[in-house]
Amino acid sequence: MADHYEVLGVERDASPEQIKKAYRRLARELHPDVNPGTEASERFKSVTHAYDVLSDPKQRQQYDLGPQAQGGFGGGNFGGFGDIFETFFGAGAGGRGGPRSRRERGEDALLRLDVELDEVVFGTTRELEVDTAVLCDTCNGSCCSPGTSPVTCDICHGSGQIQRAVRSLLGNVMTSSPCGTCRGYGTVIPHPCVICQGQGRVRARRTIPVEIPAGIETGLRLQLPGQGEVGPAGGPNGDLYLEVKVRHHDVFSRDGDDLLATLEVQMTDAILGTTATVHSLDGDVELEVRSGVQSGDVLTIKDRGITRLRGTGRGDLRVGVQVVTPTKLDHKERQLIEQFAGSRRHVDPQLAQFQQGLFAKLRDRFTRG
């Protein structure tokens, strides 16, 4: 098995932030949506598994300790000797071996989950359909046709191992290897289930309820323990991981726990002031637009942003003002504007101190508050 640190391309003393940064870089590069292909998919799984281990302090500590943490004759500095002992004197002599179980844990699965921005504000429950391996209803995971059962292998007599005498420098020694007839299970299935072909599981679509927490953002993953594929012979299910992607919204964008929007204000309303009805993601709210408001000003509506993922309360809704200057005037409107202009002291347009453009100004105010 490849070293997890080598898989992520980090040193063994890498900080959690360095590990997270390396994982995000590789995940973006190898994600099936970006880089389709078997090799990239396998590397993506390896990268994800390595990150799962190294991002958890307890799992990382156990991994760093290595096999010696397991103790026993086969662990510590005697791991290699234990393997040699087992090879020459039989699996039973080393304390390990015997027939292996047909039941194995199922594979983990990773899917992408697209969510709407309004689902992020408060969280929601989604019914997700997945195509996965489920328990065979016909044999209930036994792998056998109904009314039949596995029988003891007549080659290894149920041990799952075959011992042979091998001449060596030490004389004749016994070696042990998995039985080729039963593949180490100790039993054979003379009448496999015709529905699952003796696998104990079949492919099927099933519906899984998914709790989407409020405040989740693109790139985070949800873990659903036991919702992955069922294992061979009815083994325990693996886990299902959902990588979240928040879809683009035409009106609102996100800045942390705040929502950002742009409000177009007519020139007359900007001069005189007005009250605007803002259609937020969770209902209408009245917003006072003060007299003399300028393009680029940001008006804040408290507690109308996104519910915080960790903690309490919500962010704010920040609305950037864009004053709309009319481009087409009828004769009467033009006269009124000219009268208004004539009543004010005329000031010729002139160069002033350099300022950022409107959209850069809005962006700067949004990000700086």
Which residues carry a binding-site annotation for Zn(2+)?
136, 139, 153, 156, 179, 182, 193, 196
Task: Write phi, then psi, for 85 (nearest 5 degrees).
Answer: -60, -45
Burial class (CB in 10 A: 0-12, 13-18, 19+), 217: middle
8 Å CB contact between 19 and 54? yes
Burial class (CB in 10 A: 0-12, 13-18, 19+), 163: middle
Q: Cα(144)–Cα(148) distance, rounded to whole angstroms?
A: 6
Count of CB atoms situated within 10 Å of the CB of 297: 20
Location of structure tokens 């003379």: 190
Tokens of residue 359, six digits: 């959209």
Which residue, 232, 197, 203, 198, is CA-closest to 105?
A: 232
SS3 of the chain: helix, strand, coil, percent, to 5: 30, 30, 45
8 Å CB contact between 223 and 241? yes
Cross-strand pairs, 263: 321
Q: Cα(77)–Cα(318) distance, rounded to whole angstroms?
A: 62
8 Å CB contact between 54 and 64? no
Cross-strand pairs, 275: 288
Binding positions: 136, 139, 153, 156, 179, 182, 193, 196
Written as one string, the DSSP assignment of 85-154 is HHHHH-TGGGT--SPPPS--PPPPEEEEEEE-HHHHHH-EEEEEEEEEEEE-TTTTTS-B-TT---EE-T
Q: Which residues contact 141 (CB under 8 A, 6 or more apart)?
A: 103, 135, 200, 201, 230, 233, 234, 235
Angle subtended at Cα 116 by Cα 212 and Cα 51, rounded to the nearest 5 degrees = 55
Give the H or E element holding residue 358: helix 358-368
